């Protein structure tokens, strides 16, 4: 398996876990969970407790953030605008083909 979009928590000392290659995105301020890209699972195994996110789950996560978390010029993003944002984000972290 290749790199994955994951939810994770920082280590107890505040450091990023070794299985996170690029992270710190879309922090949930209630649970302190972050979103990021994992290391390549063919090189290093991810702990079984690490949750892998789908594109739809990422969209739900973003939509469940505060009402004005994602807005364009003060207006809430439409679903189409949010889909475009998600695609740009996934392209940025190298997971543009995530289903």
pLDDT tens digits, residue range 47-57?
Answer: 888 999 999 99
Residue pair 59/83 in contact by the 8 Å Cβ criterion: yes
Note down the domain range covering 73: 5-92
For the chain, helix, strand, coil in percent to 5 are 25, 20, 55
Residue 32 lies in a domain: yes
Residue 98 lies in a domain: no
pLDDT of residue 88: 96
Query: How many folded domains does the chain comprise?
Result: 1
Burial of 23-54, coded b for 16+ CB within 10 Å and e otherwise, reads beebeeeeeebbbbbbbeeeeeebeeebeebe
Residue 40 lies in a domain: yes
Encoded tokens for 92: 């940025």
Residue pair 4/46 in contact by the 8 Å Cβ criterion: yes
pLDDT bracket for residue 70 (50, 70, 90): low
Residues 11-47: tens digit of each pLDDT: 999 999 999 999 999 988 888 999 999 999 888 888 8
Residue 19 lies in a domain: yes
pLDDT of residue 72: 61
Residue 97 lies in a domain: no
């Amino acid at each position: 398996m290749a790199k994955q979009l994951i939810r994770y928590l920082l280590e107890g000392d505040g450091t990023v876990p070794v299985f996170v290659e690029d992270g710190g995105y879309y922090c949930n301020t209630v649970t302190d969970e972050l979103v990021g890209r994992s290391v390549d699972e063919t090189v290093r195994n991810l702990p079984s407790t690490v949750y892998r996110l789908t594109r739809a789950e990422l969209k739900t996560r973003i939509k469940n953030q505060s009402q004005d978390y994602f807005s364009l010029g003060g207006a809430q993003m439409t679903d189409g605008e949010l889909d475009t944002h998600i695609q740009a984000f996934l392209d940025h972290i190298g997971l543009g083909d995530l289903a």
